Amino acid sequence: MEEEKPKTRKIIHIDMDAFYASIEQRDHPEYRGRPLAVGRSEERGVVAAASYEARRFGVRSAMPSVRAKKLCPHLIFVPSRISFYKSVSAQIHAIFHEYTDVIEPISLDEAFLDVTENKPQIELAVQIAREIKQKIRERLGLVASAGISYNKFLAKIASDYRKPDGLCTIHPSQADRFISELPIESFWGVGKVTAQKFHSLGIHTGKELKEYSLEYLIHHFGKVGILYYKFARGIDPRPVEAERIRKSVGCETTFERDLTDLGDIMDEINELTEELLRRISRHSFQGNTLTLKIKFIDFVQKTRSITVDHKLFRSDEILSLTRKMLEEPELTGQPIRLLGLTLSHPPEYLTDTPDGQLWIPFKEL
């Protein structure tokens, strides 16, 4: 008897276009068609989101507000309404649930849907994506982009391909050609530091990436090289996880004045540690990887992580590990504007990057 082949999954990635900014433009007609940023405009403010009109001037999320105003002097700033954005996100998810309950939220404005088996029993995933986009537009007055493929990696790439208001399908027969032409910067999990590393090795596209062996990629990138090897071949076995387990608990503080004195820094670390312990207790969370996040006066951000073989829950041990990380020369000598501490589970594919940073797939720390 011939063995039945596994069913090809039908995965959709929905990504709302300029979500926060679009909500503000929807609710305030006077802002429509004008460059707008969600965030604080003062000297130490940061852009949380930018409209497409603002992006044409180079304004991006996480950019210092001072720089954003230099790039676009007539930029409109509006305060963030995060609780309201959450309520809109819930309305979007209600639309998703009309088609499937296998939904993996990534953030307020994006999610994966597995529609292999779907409630309306629609055969084509692209038809489901088209209907979801239409309902979001008609019911909420917002625009979404959608990517469709047989795994999460390709669905995510497809949703970015024709933004804004995009709709792109990558069929299994098209995957090799699509990936081969993909710039290495477009691979999920490749940020600026990793892209520079790839370029130094002569790797600029998916085609060039595929030419290298698994051993070579592991040698240069650690265990995450396994993921790069698979992505270059269109392989991503990760399922859409309908119930996402909390993987980290963290807290951070941005200071009114930059810190330079080690005593002041440790005072803030003490307060962060106590806040972290309160949050750990509140969420009944256990983890054994501690990550220190530092943002300097020039907005350069560094993170360092330590993983131990037991659960971290004592303030003295967390403080001791934090002090150890702070001893690195790269983390001292510059004024500090932000400090953060996070406790997490180390993923099985955890590795150290060449610059000593902890690497977690799909987010360059």
> How far are the Cα atoms of 191, 216, 226, 286 from residue 362, in angstroms, in the given order?
9, 20, 13, 23
Between CA 110 and CA 83 the distance in angstroms is: 17
Catalytic-residue membership of 208: no
Cβ neighbors of 120 (< 8 A, separation 6 or more) are 98, 99, 128
Between CA 25 and CA 363 the distance in angstroms is: 29
Closest residue by Cα to residue 255 from 340, 336, 341: 336
Residue 263 token pair? 């005593």
Cβ neighbors of 314 (< 8 A, separation 6 or more) are none
Residue 245: how many CB atoms within 10 A of its CB? Answer: 6
Q: Which of 3, 53, 110, 268 is catalytic?
A: 110
Q: Catalytic residue positions?
A: 110
